[in-house]
Structure 1
């Protein structure tokens, strides 16, 4: 293969594989940003510097395969600067880090434009040119005025003398059978390699190709061995294969490789009983050199020569391979030939990953939801037959469905720490813009959450973080005057709690000025003038549409847009948001979200003829109703003012010496049916505290497939979704947090009678078939 001035790119290959490149390159760019931010705190971390360099290599190499020359050219200068950092010729100070972050933003923009086939504007071209100029100036200063590209150009020339002086690498690569199906083109990889050096003596391994009558035209059977003359480093050569790394095996032998390396490769080889194949596989000789020696050896045997040399001796003379390498290969050949068990031994198991499209996984989870519903229906029918063997069979099937459900849902769970890490850049740039010194702390990053929910929580978190930086944290002078450290702290944390995920955004700033919020609420008419709500209600006013206490409008705040959207988006995920603040000490905002939006474990109850589902994780206990306590007004009704009577559904019952607020579903939803003889109260724990829900019957644990409500039902109080039962009936899923807000009111008046309340029993004993 001769060196070409331009490369022909397979347009079909680009169209099929470009989306995969965009996704992987975007992930690499995100990783570059996180590594740069981490290196600002530990500039001398060699491992992070190496990882940073590898990420830039991968982006550049993969872009080169697709002919994305703008990305390749721009990333090359970034890569050169990163190489200077690794060599210790430059320090990663704030100026260098800021420049690299801006360059990384430009690479991200170029990747986005490649995905959408967008044309660059004049401003974008000028901005990239300015970044390139700053990069080249920094590199020129580091290299005493000689750009790195000029050094490379001086070494790499097209003359035979210069080519002979280049280091010679040996490459063996085998592409997997699914390479074509995954949109990859091996020739594009080899074509890109030809831009890094000169490819010589390329040879195809035809033994990997099946007979033509059994060949699959959609499968790849490409296996190549060749020598490669180049000044490129190992990382640069490997980067050319980074995009197809999952679909190929690569063996790269560097110039001057020691004998011990070849011996280690021979020892690790599973099945290659022939001497020549062993030497080719480890890169000691090329396929072309082996074929030449085999041909000469065959010609000598045909001529009836009594002194036919051995293949190892011929390879040693022709190629200069070290005799110790040949001896090790001979030992391995005897070992594999004499012991069939060793030939069958495979490589050790290793952890592998596979990339799956999100829509395919969503389709599987939707089918799983239908399977759960069908399984519940079959279980109900089996109980009606009262046949023990059939009931037992369905119990076993239900257990398997539950295991499949848990395993499948786990596939969509991702650590929330990846989302938290995105805000390091936001905090850094926003704090610098505001002239504040802020340290971001992250806790509980390993907490897992449904990926679809993580994607939808990013924007609300972004607004809350910016709001804390702008409104909450003071500048250094104000903090010192208040007796605090000059550096403010913003903490993002997450943890599992009661079957939900609790996300907390906390700062140690000035806190929320309640009097200022109340004054603005009076002016806006949100609160009647002169009326002073509770502290919790005052803090909740910041979520009112258009509410803002900023004195002037900036690009960060003051327009009264955002907090109401935050609340609405979180509630759309069946979550809730609360605010806690202490003047002068800081503000804490808590977001509580369900683990998943698909399937939950529920507790099925009934009121009148309606079925309701409570999230099982929120159920604390069940109070069995007794005819005497109910008939004798053991449940006292309370209206919003705390007075007895009314039909709002709010009641109160004494439980172990304390008053427990309860909600009567019959009254709340105006369900018409004769009263139950033995109503029960399900005690649940919500964000506002513990309260009870009055129901007619307990129907036990139930796997619940969550279905969204139609637009006409979204304003229904205390309902977050629906589910289809096994018999085809529709059950409404209760929103524990919303019901808790309805139940939280002032305690009953002192004159109200207090009667012995019902007894509390565990949920398990209260379940009914």
Structure 2
């Protein structure tokens, strides 16, 4: 068995369980807890403990065992999940995560052996256990006479008489070794939570000669085990022994009925050998003749608290994740299943459902995307050669190949798409911790977590969103006193939302706080020399000043923010993803940060245009329509406007803007593009049609270019630049606004008349 591969699986599963634990704790803090949530909390920590025990991680096992004890008290109702206990469990979550991170980095776990958290957990267990016992003694009056127990339901033993010695009858499945499991690892783990008095192997099923297969398990283990743990805890140790394993755990000595259930599936010679082992363990001969296994449920025979075990079994059975060693669910199963044999149809279907998904290394997927990109380029070259040859059959064949390549491209890219909820899930914890540190009452609302985005972009979005959310909580939401004084509710709200729009993804972070103060931002910018003292900037330009490096209007520096570090990093990170970030704010009502990003950074559908004998690519998702440029418009103007069905459309002549030599053309065209709610027209010389575009990054020498977002290779082998539509639209609209904003009154009137006249002529 590859230990590294098994450890990697352990890390992945443990991180998933820790994420589920954190989510449950945060949800439970906001609302009332349910039995299902408490059981899920217990199972998550118990599973991590069991897996760590298989790898001999005693420090992890010891700590998670104490956490498990607290969760067990919580599940029993001896504890209530209040704010203090939630905080303790969240710190335990962080501690386990730190241990796993250190283990993955090959670091020693010795520094985690002695921790204050462990002492807190032990003290919590003792205090809670003592208080529960005292409450039970004070509130439970002695009965006048004990009720008579039904013959099929003997009374449960009190805690003081709980048996310490157990009989373990373990019949692991024949495929256990093939599945990479080691039966001895379960025994080693049991030795950490109890003491094995005696253990013997039953070898009656062991074949001889050529019939022996070294990869098949033939052994049956019988053991006398001493532990204070409850039966359910011992059964849960074997939760990884799925499929056809059979596990029985009984208080020693077992009753005749329990003996019969244990031996129901054994062959005669095996049953005789097992009985002989029990006699050597000290079983009285007169009780060593098992009765026939009864048809009724044997759940009542187990001398442990049954209501909890039956309830847990029913919950797990309803979710098609039935534990194969949970014997108390046998009341609804066939006799063979009641004997411990795995025959549940729900469990089989659950196993089949799991097999529908496989985990693929991210690097392999990235390599496949790169190869498909090269295939797209090669397909375009083949299609160009076919068109030039003017052979219809060849053109048709290459077109078929191109269609298949497009389907492969779309399917492969969809494999890289993951839900943005992967990063959204970390923010409830951030909101909780930061709001408590600042002494604010803040509720975080998340929507659109199922929106999909390219995996590489999701990974890079975590830090920018973290800055924005923390700033919204620190700067955006006012203190409770200030909110009450302004007539607002004491509880502040932050919204995190994601949705698709026009081939892009939009992520919004909004709050109902005090909003941005334009005058204060402008005054701070003037003080720092960022803008002239007499400047009159548009609202959006004022808001964009907060993205300047070192810019901050905070009155005091806190552990959260106020040092002017972070928002400039946010802007740079978003721009590196070919995205934009806009701000909407109203003083006293709140602020909204709106991030727009392309869906993928690998392959896009493009629209080829020609400008001054050079070829450029416009992302097809940004193109609305193409129209002919009216001949009446002034050709010498770099910026102009067009009346597009009653809408004023700013124009940007790409040849002048990019400083390219103008070439004569019979007709010029306008490509109407948009980004969000803003539009502009790009004046080009020719339209060349759609083109599958493989995005190639620009070199370091050209990274400062705002109008170019990347490059691609055409079928001819030539390089075409990809236009940055958001930057071009912003430039066109901003220049037109500045052009008229800086004109004196008389020139403004004349310019307005001029533009109106041009608009009328173009409409005609």
Question: TM bucket by the smaller chain?
Answer: 0.7 to 0.9
Distance 1:365 1:573 in 2: 18
Deviation at 1:734, TM superposition (A): 1.4
For 2:699, the equivalent position in structure 1 comes to 710
Q: Is the 8 A contact 1:202 1:227 kept in 2?
A: yes
Query: Which of 281, 293, 297 is 1:322 aligned to?
Result: 293
**Counterpart position of 1:691:** 680
Aligned to 2:615: 611
Query: How far off its partner does 1:408 sit?
Result: 1.6
Call closer, same or farther: CA 1:285–1:375 in 2, change over 3 Å.
farther
Taking the TM superposition and a 5 Å limit, the aligned residue runs for 1:577-726 are: 577-625=581-629, 629-630=630-631, 632=632, 634-635=633-634, 645=637, 649-672=638-661, 674-687=663-676, 689-726=678-715
Correspondence for 2:256: none
Residues 20 and 329 of structure 1: CA distance in aligned 2, closer, same or farther (over 3 Å)? closer
Per the TM alignment, residue 387 of structure 1 is displaced from its structure 2 partner at its CA by 2.6
d(CA) in 2 for partners of 1:504 and 1:210?
68
The alpha-carbon deviation at position 31 of structure 1 amounts to 1.8
Please say if 1:485 is aligned against 2:479.
no
Any conservation in 1 of the 2:206–2:219 contact (CA below 8 Å)?
Answer: no
- SS of 1:492 mapped into structure 2: strand
Counterpart position of 1:173: 173
Quickly say closer, same or farther: Cα 1:43–1:70, change in 2 above 3 A.
farther
How many positions carry a matched residue from both structures?
A: 656
Of 45, 59, 62 in structure 1, the residue corresponding to residue 48 of structure 2 is 59
In 1, Cα distance between the equivalents of 2:349 and 2:463? 48
| Structure 2 equivalent of residue 530 of structure 1 | 534
After TM superposition, the score normalised by the length of structure 1 is: 0.77
In the alignment, which of 491, 508, 511 is matched to residue 507 of structure 1?
511
- Classify the secondary structure of the residue corresponding to 2:715: coil
Quote how far apart the aligned CAs of 1:394 are: 2.4
Unaligned runs of 5+ in 1: 1-11, 257-279, 296-316, 331-344, 638-644, 761-769
Where does residue 433 of structure 2 map in the other structure? 429
Report Cα offsets for 1:53-107 as digits up to 9, x if no partner.
Answer: 1111111111111111111101111111111111212110111111111111111
Q: Comparing 606-615 with 200-209, which one deviates more in the overlay?
A: 200-209
Go from structure 1 to structure 2 and tell me whether the alpha carbon gap of 1:80 and 1:665 turns closer, same or farther (over 3 Å shift).
Answer: same
Report the CA distance shift for 1:187/1:253 in structure 2 as closer, same or farther (over 3 A): closer
1:455-508 deviation per Cα after TM superposition (whole angstroms, max 9, x unaligned):
110111111111011101011111111111110000100001111110000000
How big is each residue's C-alpha offset from its partner over 1:702-727, in whole Å with a ceiling of 9 and x where there is no partner? 22221111111111121111112222
Of 553, 561, 573, 2:565 maps to 561
| Mapped pair 1:415 → 2:419 | yes
> In structure 1, how many angstroms separate the alpha carbons of the residues matched to 2:732 and 2:177?
62
Q: Do the aligned residues in 1 keep the contact of 2:168 with 2:247 (CA within 8 Å)?
A: no
Q: Is this contact kept in 2: 1:171–1:283, CA < 8 A?
A: no
Aligned to 2:576: 572
Offset, 1:133: 4.3
Q: 1:3 — aligned with what?
A: none
For the pair 1:384 / 2:388, whether they are aligned, the reply is yes
Partner of 1:249: 243
Question: SS at 1:569's partner residue?
Answer: helix
State the partner residue of 2:521: 517
Over 3 Å counting, the alpha-carbon distance change for 1:480 and 1:347 in structure 2 is closer
Counterpart CA distance in 1 for 2:234 and 2:380 is: 57
Instruction: Report the counterpart of residue 301 of structure 1 in structure 2.
Output: none
Is contact 1:193–1:240 with CA below 8 Å preserved after alignment? no
Trace 1:240-279 onto structure 2 (pairs within 5 A): 240-242=238-240, 249=243, 251-252=245-246
Alignment partners' CA distance in 1, 2:498 and 2:173: 45
Deviation at 1:417, TM superposition (A): 1.8
Find the residue that maps to 1:751 and give its secondary structure. helix
C-alpha separation between the residues in 1 aligned to 2:580 and 2:418? 21
CA contact (8 A) 2:235 2:249 kept: no
- Contact kept, 8 Å, 2:59 with 2:109, in 1: the verdict is no
Q: Give the secondary structure class of the aligned counterpart of 1:506.
A: strand
Deviations 1:606-650 (A, max 9, x none): 22232222222111111134xxx33x3x2566xxxxxxx4xxx43
Superimposed CA distance per residue, residues 578-598 of structure 1 (whole angstroms, 9 cap, x where no aligned partner): 111000000000111111121
Alignment match, 2:752: 749
Distance 1:577 1:96 in 2: 39
Cα gap change, 1:86 to 1:324, in 2 (>3 Å): closer
2:85 to 89, 96, 100: 96
1:6 paired residue number: none
What corresponds to 2:443 in structure 1?
A: 439
**1-structure distance, mates of 2:60, 2:675:** 51
CA distance in 1, matches of 2:388, 2:35: 68
TM value normalised by structure 2: 0.77
Whether 1:731 and 2:720 are equivalent positions in the alignment is yes
CA distance in 1, matches of 2:204, 2:703: 64
Task: Report the Cα distance in structure 2 between the residues aligned to 1:601 and 1:322, rounded to whole angstroms.
Answer: 69
Correspondence 1:42 to 2:31 = yes
Cα 1:54–1:347 shift into 2, 3 Å: closer
Cα deviations across residues 105-156 of structure 1 (Å, max 9, x unaligned)? Answer: 111111112222334697994434443444344444445489xxxx999999
User: For residues 531 and 174 of structure 1, do their structure 2 counterparts lie closer, same or farther at Cα, with a shift above 3 Å needed?
Assistant: farther
Q: For 2:520 and 2:158, how far apart are their aligned partners in 1?
A: 64
Q: How far apart are residue 321 of structure 1 and its match?
A: 5.2
- Aligned-pair CA distance for 1:347: 10
Correspondence list, 1:98-177, <5 A: 98-119=87-108, 125-144=114-133, 163=165, 166=166, 168=168, 170-173=170-173, 175=175
Instruction: Rate the CA distance shift 1:506–1:287 in 2: closer, same or farther, 3 A.
Output: same
Q: 1:616 to 1:136 in 2, by over 3 A?
A: same
**Cα RMSD, aligned residues only:** 3.9
SS of aligned partner of 1:135: helix
Paired with 1:397 and 1:90, the residues of 2 have a C-alpha distance of 65
**How far apart, in 1, do the equivalents of 2:615 and 2:726 lie?**
19
How far is 1:728 from its partner? 1.6
C-alpha separation in 1, matches of 2:124 and 2:410: 50
Distance 1:14 1:237 in 2: 25
2:363 pairs with one of 352, 359, 363: 359
CA separation of 1:567 and 1:415: change in aligned 2, threshold 3 A: same
Task: Give, in angstroms, the shift of residue 693 of structure 1.
Answer: 1.1
SS of the residue 1:504 aligns to:
strand
After the TM superposition, which residues 291-306 of structure 1 pair with which residues of structure 2 at under 5 Å, given as runs? 291=270
- In 1, the alpha carbon distance for the partners of 2:91 and 2:672 equals 54
1:73 aligned to 2:62?
yes
Structure 2 unaligned blocks of 5 or more: 136-156, 251-259, 275-287, 297-333, 337-347, 741-750
Match status 1:192 vs 2:209: no
Cα separation, 1, equivalents of 2:634 and 2:177: 71
Distance in structure 1 (CA, Å) of the matches to 2:707 and 2:719:
16
CA distance in 2: counterparts of 1:209 and 1:530, whole angstroms? 98
User: Quick check: 1:172–1:283 contact (8 Å CA) kept in 2?
Assistant: no
